[in-house]
Amino acid sequence: MDVIQNLLAVIVVLGLLITFHEFGHFWVARRCGVKVLRFSVGFGKPLWSRFDRHGTEFAVAAIPLGGYVKMLDEREAPVAPEEQHRAFNRQGVWSRIAIVVAGPLANFLLAVFGYWLLFVVGTTSVAPVIGEVAPGSPAAQAGLSRGQEIVAVQGDRTPTWEQINLELIAAIGHSGALSVTARDGQAGAPRDFQVPVADWLVRQDPPQPLATLGVTPWRPEIPATLGRVLEGEVAARAGLEPGDHVVAVNGRPLTDWMAFVGLVRGSPGEPLTLRIERDGEMREVTLTPASREENGATIGYIGAGAEPVSWPEEYRREIHYGPLAALGQSLSRTAEMTVLTLDSIRKMLTGLISPSNLSGPITIARIAGDTARSGLESFISFMAYLSISLGVLNLLPIPVLDGGHLAYYLIEAIRGRPVSATAQAVGLRIGMALVGTLMLMALYFDLMRL
């Protein structure tokens, strides 16, 4: 079932993002006087199509992963003399630049809209309160302690754990001290703590900023009660059901859910005898956790989740803005994520970030499915970030991508004449090799994560 949900989620996400990207090219091309021959949602054989009064065919194709826009162009097919003025290649260089840039720009606008929607509707997040500080860790050396709420990192406000992670990841490669501002409770005065680091998170695969910092987020005590049992997994096959309360494992009494998780993860392939309470009656169930790899280690897995618990009000934060204020916040968030994406690419090229952090279609499908199951808020946030990534990657000056065409047209605008067909052909081959290599690497790392 999860595989089907992941597949549907990735079809929705990539289909929407790429179609919106192509709509940007389409909309600007129309306004520049270029004839668009086809606007296709999906690839392959059209399942449905119709023509509008401008002669553009709108089609829905069989493979629903994206889409494309085909324009009238003399470089692709002969064009009737009376329509040559509507061909893309006959347009002025600035019109061609506008058409090329419109696709990535549409992705940035979609991200702005997604974040704006989240800020207007409002979101409830968990206050970034420290649960534990590992002895001897950088956080402990700086003086951070249990119960403090982190309010800023490197001078930037951090109302959520997500924002803290983003700030810490943005500091990859930093040596010296990270500035962390925290307070004791909501009424406490903020204080600055200098966290000593050296080559922060360099080549860590994958980056684990909070664990490396030595901080564990505060969590309410979660009873060892099953809230979800995945069909076909170890727990379901052993007869466990939602609502079962695990009292003991191998005769050892349990205190909470995390203690149960620790025992399961530490027992791959080893039989466990669970004493459970169901409907007021005690029962015993024996199961053997399956094995799977996680961050280079083998852990146990039974396919069950905890029953949700309510967070105390003092640990909940409402983030909500009016329509105008939300627009400013969404623009700021989009700019922040764009800079983070560009900086991550730079650090990957310089070796600070491992190339194994590249993600391909399998990882995107998994994350899309997970965020869809987590709720609309998580799904929209992920889609907005992916839209930004698509926009940034398409603007990289690599032939084949929009950024490669943009580079050619900017050179033409400066020189007063287009880049030679020979140079473009060589660039095309190089670009295809680069993009192909990146796609194969991303797919390889996807498979390794499985």
Q: Please, what is the average pLDDT of the chain? A: 90
Comparing 314 with 337, the larger pLDDT belongs to 337
Is pLDDT at 6 greater than 60 in this prediction?
yes
Q: Is the pLDDT of residue 173 over 80?
A: yes
All domains in the chain, ordered by first residue:
96-122+322-450 (no CATH), 130-217 (2.30.42.10), 226-307 (2.30.42.10)
CA torsion through residues 364, 366, 369, 375, sign? negative
pLDDT of residue 390: 93
**375 Rama class: left (phi>0) / alpha (psi -120 to 50) / beta:** left
Read off the pLDDT band of 64 (50, 70, 90).
Answer: confident
How confident is the model at residue 363, as a pLDDT?
A: 75
Positions annotated as catalytic residues are 22
The CA distance from 69 to 21, in Å, is 10
Across the range 66-93, mean pLDDT stands at 92
Residue at token pair 């999906």? 42
Lowest mean pLDDT among 5-14, 71-80, 149-158, 281-290: 5-14
The pLDDT value recorded for residue 449 is 67
Reference 115, options 415, 355, 420, 330; nearest CA is 330
- What pLDDT score was predicted for residue 128? 92
Higher pLDDT residue, 72 or 187? 72
pLDDT band at 222 (very low <50, low <70, confident <90, very high): confident
Q: Grade residue 245 by pLDDT with cuts at 50, 70 and 90.
A: very high
Cis peptide before 206 (omega within 30 of 0): yes
pLDDT tops 90 at residue 13: no
Q: Which of 343, 409, 397 is nearest to 104 (CA)?
A: 397
Give me the pLDDT at residue 447, please: 77
Counting residues of the chain whose pLDDT is more than 90, the rounded percentage is: 61
Which tokens sit at 126? 């968990």
Q: How far apart are CA 285 and CA 266, in angstroms?
A: 18
Q: Is 73 exposed, middle or buried (0-12, 13-18, 19+ CB in 10 A)?
A: middle
* pTM of structure: 0.81
- Taking phi over 0 as left and psi of -120 to 50 as alpha, with beta for the rest, 128 belongs to beta
* From 268-272, 310-314, 326-330, the region with the lowest mean pLDDT: 310-314
Q: Where does the pLDDT of residue 220 fall: very low under 50, low under 70, confident under 90, or very high at 90 and above?
A: confident
The per-residue pLDDT for range 319-372, each reduced to its tens digit, is 889 999 999 999 999 999 999 999 989 988 888 888 777 777 777 777 777 777
Structure tokens that stand for 12 in this block: 């929705």
- Highest mean pLDDT: which of 4-13, 123-132, 307-316? 123-132
What are 344-356's pLDDT values in tens digits? 899 888 888 887 7
Give the pLDDT confidence score for residue 1 in this predicted structure: 52
The answer on pLDDT for 375 being more than 90 is no
Residue 65 has pLDDT above 90, yes or no: no
Identify the band that residue 373 occupies on the pLDDT scale cut at 50, 70 and 90.
confident
Q: For residue 39, what are the β-bridge partners?
A: 58, 69
Task: Note the pLDDT of residue 401.
Answer: 92
The mean pLDDT value for 375-404 works out to 92
Closest CA to 447 of 326, 366, 334, 373: 366
Cα–Cα distance for residue pair 151/137, rounded to 1 Å = 20
Q: What is the 3-state secondary structure (H, E, C) of the chain?
A: CHHHHHHHHHHHHHHHHHHHHHHHHHHHHHHCCCCEEEEEEEEEEEEEEEECCCCCEEEEEEEEEEEEEEECCCCCCCCCHHHHHHCHHHCCHHHHHHHHHHHHHHHHHHHHHHHHHHHHHCEEEECCEEEEECCCCHHHHHCCCCCEEEEEECCEECCCHHHHHHHHHHCCCCCEEEEEEEEECCCCCCEEEEEEECCCCCCCCCCCHHHHHCEEECCCCCCCEEEEECCCCHHHHCCCCCCCEEEEECCEECCCHHHHHHHHHCCCCCCEEEEEEECCEEEEEEECCEEEEECCEEEEECCEEECCCCCCHHHEEEECCCHHHHHHHHHHHHHHHHHHHHHHHHHHHCCCCCHHHCCCHHHHHHHHHHHHHHCHHHHHHHHHHHHHHHHHHHCCCCCCCHHHHHHHHHHHHHHCCCCCHHHHHHHHHHHHHHHHHHHHHHHHHHHHHC
pLDDT band at 9 (very low <50, low <70, confident <90, very high): confident
